Chains A and B, each alone.
Chain A
């Protein structure tokens, strides 16, 4: 029997009940949300359960929503069940002032570099990560460039006159 979204959702609700919220299925991909401190429990259950078996983390990234106070940063996990070829998406939200999220490294080795990248660009502090330092940007960088408050352009430039580029 194919693993449908209904079955996955049923099993997750059976286990976690009301703690999982925000159920949606954009383009048929099951997506849900929970409290950020629950993330390892949910991932572990998805990994271990004999029927679910989401054992491949295809992606881990963050999104910055500057207007959502108290939950500015979303950390998004994409999981894949290789046997059934089913993917799900799991989001947690955290306050940007204290962006501590438990690291999924112990469960998925793939999370190692992806969490470093997420830290590099969004400053999510993955608690329990063995080597949380910048991976793509230069080590001297002092900010997290994909947060929305930073414009795309390098702010430390002195050689480009803004007037010449039609900026104030």
Chain B
């Protein structure tokens, strides 16, 4: 039996037969369009974020649901999940990170090219979760900077999509010079990353 939720009982017509991202603001004339480069770059970046899933445990199962047809993260331009850090923009750390695994997470982060973002999925990646113990890293922000935390044990795929949209927001609005700023360098310095 179908659940009596809004989308099952009321027919919701598509707003448009196709879906396309709103273009940036700018001046349009005959044969030209003028806008800020940063807006265009931001638009391009945020709609083609390539995630690198670093899945270690049960949240990884939830991530599979997220990538599969029902929740379908590909709708947000992240069809291509990659397992090589060089080509990825978003490191998704999914699951418990043991202290012994911490250098590996850091290594993967270092191998990613700038600009790079990090999403911590699940309570364990965010804070150690229920594993308040000698062997578990108490949140991955002890070894790498994190942009978005998605708590939950495990978080629902909708929650991760919400977190992902927040990453998109960050990516789209980020200044092109942010990665050269003293503040960013200082942040990296606190993690011992040059």
Contact = CB atoms under 8 A, between A and B. Distances in A.
A18 interface: no
Contact of B135 (A137, A150, A157, A160): A137
B100 A153 contact: no
B132 A145 contact: no
Contacts of A154: 132-134, 136, 138
B40 to A, nearest CB: 40
Contacts of A153: 132-134
A148 to B, nearest CB: 13
Interface string B90-126: 0000000001101000000000000000000000000
Contacts of A152: 132-134
Given A157-B138, A159-B138, A138 B132 contact: no
Interface in A128-163: 136-138, 141, 145, 150, 152-155, 157, 159-160
Contacts of B133: 152-154
B137 to A, nearest CB: 9
Given A137-B100, A138-B99, A138-B100, A145 B138 contact: no
Interface in B139-187: 139
A122 to B, nearest CB: 13
Nearest to A151: B134
Contacts, number: 31
Q: Is the interface of B mostly helix, strand, loop or mixed?
A: loop
Q: How large is the interface on A (under 10, 10 to 19, 20 to 34, 35 or more residues)?
A: 10 to 19
Contacts of A141: 134
Q: How large is the interface on B (under 10, 10 to 19, 20 to 34, 35 or more residues)?
A: 10 to 19
A153 B131 CA distance: 8
A153 B130 CA distance: 11
Nearest to B139: A159
B101 to A, nearest CB: 10
Interface in A115-137: 136-137
A154 B100 CA distance: 14
Contacts of A155: 134
B131 to A, nearest CB: 10
A136 B102 CA distance: 14
A105 to B, nearest CB: 24
A73 to B, nearest CB: 19
Q: Which among A136, A153, A154, A155 has the greatest number of chain B C-beta atoms within 10 A?
A: A154
Contacts of B134: 137, 141, 145, 150, 152-155
A90 B118 CA distance: 51
A166 B148 CA distance: 29
B138 A137 contact: no
Nearest to A152: B133
Nearest to B98: A138
B99 A160 contact: no
A119 to B, nearest CB: 16
A47 to B, nearest CB: 34
Interface of B: 99-100, 102, 132-136, 138-139
Top 5 A-B pairs, shortest CB-CB distance: A145-B134, A138-B99, A153-B132, A154-B134, A138-B100
Given A152-B132, A154-B138, 8 more contacts: A137-B99, A138-B99, A150-B134, A152-B134, A154-B134, A157-B132, A160-B132, A160-B138
